[in-house]
Chains A and B, each alone.
Chain A
């Protein structure tokens, strides 16, 4: 199932998440938006940290996973991604 959600960051950035799920786990994750990430090549690593997580993973655990990536998240935070994750799981299903 494809789950999607957008999270608006307080200073105006937008974080969008798309989760491809199966058997209550994230099979594929995509993080998109108008944020900054240094170095940029770390985007795939952030996504990889989310892949394999149970869909009911708690916010703190998601944040912890993202924080293991050695990158500067600018204009957004692991908390924003975690909130987008949970929003996607809760209400992000497509009516297809």
Chain B
């Protein structure tokens, strides 16, 4: 197996992160990149929402605009999440398809296993909850989403470190009536935060995640290349900042 690449640097706007995900997923899918783990660092609060969700129904757009919250449609399915710089932990795994269990549930369990174990090491009672959640007995700590291409898989996960859950309820349209009709969306389950269960800083948690992930893998820390950045920049501008993409559904 080839050496893993670990990217633990680079602070970007929300569209850029999704563009990097798309560029690196294409690369792993075409066999042009080593398997890679990347951590996200954000500049602004944001709401990445699911590929198949209705733009209008998930976010209080007036409030988001007023607060400078970036709203971006993901290339993966799943639900909307509220994120704040330094208050969530997001990572992406880009991995060849033949290294991922074919069974979807098994693959979520497998690819988030290091995170669940790292949290347990730090005293957080975390566990995998099918299909794509990481749970604490007090509530949901985080969620994952995958894009499965022919020969490569993107698996990204966001966990709450010490998210402002009251702000989250103002931004996300949880338990509110849909914009497009009179039906009420059902309330999401409770959210729990890593910080509620451990004294370790966010940086320490990320370091522990990297240690756990790499303990059985050959690896090397290496940032994005000029070419990757250039491609992602274009895609961030043309796709992930566009109404055509973000408001397509």
Contacts and interface: CB of A to CB of B under 8 A. Distances in A.
Interface of A: 2, 4-6, 8, 11-14, 16, 18, 30-40, 43, 72, 74-75, 92, 94-95
A2 B57 contact: no
SS of B interface (majority): loop
B131 A16 contact: no
A13 B79 CA distance: 9
A32 B186 contact: no
Interface of B: 50-54, 57, 75-80, 104, 130-133, 145-149, 178, 180-183, 185-186, 189, 249
Nearest to A38: B148
Nearest to B78: A34
Contacts of A36: 52, 76-78, 104, 145-146
A74 B131 contact: yes
Nearest to A31: B52
Contacts of A13: 131
Contacts of B52: 31-37, 40, 43
Given A4-B178, A11-B131, A72-B148, 9 more contacts: A4-B180, A14-B79, A16-B54, A30-B54, A31-B52, A32-B57, A36-B77, A40-B51, A94-B181
